[in-house]
């Protein structure tokens, strides 16, 4: 169960990064989806590692997800302001 929650959390964070990267969405939509996905990841990590550990893991996981997204996917073709 813990492994599943960790996978869900990391996938959520990766999706969040892909969402932020996407340039076909407006900023409010991006913000809403990102918040949703981040919260999901936070809940999953907190279920596994407790409140403080979960919060730390979520932030660190987000950093790694962002880095991986940047290195693998690069910048989206067109970026809207």
Partner 1 sequence: MKSITLKKLFLLHSWVGIITAVLLFIVAFSGALAVLSRPELKIWANPELQSSQHVASEQINRLVNEYHKQVPSEFGENIHVFLPSGHNFHLLTLVFESHHGDENYDQEVARVFQFHQDTLALENTYYGPSKEFYANKKTDAPTYIGEFHADLHLGRPIGLILTGFLGLTLLVSAVTGLFIHRKLIKELFTFRRDKGLDIAVSDAHKVIGIWGSVFNIVIGFTGSFLGLATVILLPAAAFVSFGGDQDKLIETFTAIPEPVVSHIKQPTKIDTILEHAHSRYPEAVIRDVTIMAHNDANAQVYLRLLGGEAVASQLLHYKGNGEFVQSMSSFGDISGVSIKVIELMFPLHFGNFAGVFVKLLWVLLGLSTALLPISGMMMWLAKRTRGSSPSLSVQAYARWNRFIIGSCGGLVLASFVLFPLQVVLNYTVIGVAQNSFFGPVFFYTWLAWLLSSVLPVGYKNYFKLTLLLCGASLALVLPLNIIFGVSNVINLNSSLVAIVDISFMVVGIACIFGALKIKNTQKLQAEVQPA
Applying CB under 8 A, the residues found at the interface with partner 1 are 6, 17, 20-21, 48-50, 52-53, 56-57, 59-61, 63-64, 66-67, 69-71, 73-76, 79
User: Cα 33 from chain centroid?
Assistant: 10
Distance in Å, CB of 39 to partner 1, minimum? 19
Distance in Å, CB of 15 to partner 1, minimum? 14
DSSP one-letter string for 35-71: HHHHHHHHHHHHHHHHHHHHHHHHHHHHHHHHHHHHH
Distance in Å, CB of 1 to partner 1, minimum? 13
């Amino acid at each position: 169960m813990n492994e599943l929650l960790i996978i869900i959390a990391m996938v959520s964070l990766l999706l969040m990064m892909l969402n932020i990267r996407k340039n076909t969405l407006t900023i409010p939509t991006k913000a809403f989806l990102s918040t949703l996905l981040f919260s999901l990841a936070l809940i999953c990590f907190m279920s596994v590692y407790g409140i403080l550990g979960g919060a730390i893991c979520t932030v660190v996981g987000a950093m790694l997800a962002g880095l991986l997204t940047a290195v693998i996917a690069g910048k989206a073709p067109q970026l809207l302001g």
